[in-house]
Amino acid sequence: MADLVCRNFDAADETRPFLAGMGRLDLLETDGGQVGRAVFEPGWKWSEHIKPLAGTESCESAHTGYVVSGRIRIVMDGGDAVEAGPGDFIQAAPGHDAWVLGDEPCVVLDWTGYGDYARPPSG
């Protein structure tokens, strides 16, 4: 384990674009696992722009993150919902949809749920 690390998401180890140019996921590999920065563009919705990549009915990633900017609505399959904005800590279990609110990109840092997120199908 490194004693001190400073990395920038603009020089990510991997970048995964979302469908229709609706944003991207920038991933950093760290000793503690992957850390991601997602940039969700206005109009982005998981069920439209990630579902075709994931191949599941709802997002099956668990997320632990922090909203840097913009606003996002997360709705669990069971109906519970939250609206999160700048400065909010969020946790979402598998089984949800989400979409950007308003006309500003939503930027979210996540340290648990982006490892396989928006990964194009293999083969």
For the chain, list the domains and their CATH numbers.
13-110 (2.60.120.10)
Residue 114 half-sphere exposure, CB side, CA atoms within 13 Å? Answer: 25
Q: Which of 25-34, 39-48, 70-79, 113-122 has the lowest mean pLDDT?
A: 113-122
Structure-token pair, residue 120: 């194009």
Mean pLDDT check: name the lowest of 8-12, 28-32, 87-91. 28-32
* Alpha-carbon gap, residue 89 to 67, rounded angstroms: 7
pLDDT tens-digit profile of 17-38? 988 999 999 999 999 899 999 9
* Chain position carrying tokens 């969020």: 90
